[in-house]
Amino acid sequence: MEYKYDSKTDILLITLSKEKPDFGDQKENIITHYNKQGKPIEIEILDASKTTLKIVEAVLKGRRLAVAAPRKI
Domain count, the chain: 1
State how far Cα 45 lies from the chain centre. 5
The whole model's pTM is what?
A: 0.73
Check residue 35 and give left, alpha or beta (phi > 0: left; psi -120 to 50: alpha): beta
Residue 70 lies in a domain: no
Q: Could you list the pLDDT tens digit for every one of the 73 residues in the chain?
A: 999 999 999 999 999 999 999 999 999 999 999 999 999 999 999 999 998 888 888 788 876 555 555 555 5
Range of the domain at 8: 2-60
Residue 67 lies in a domain: no
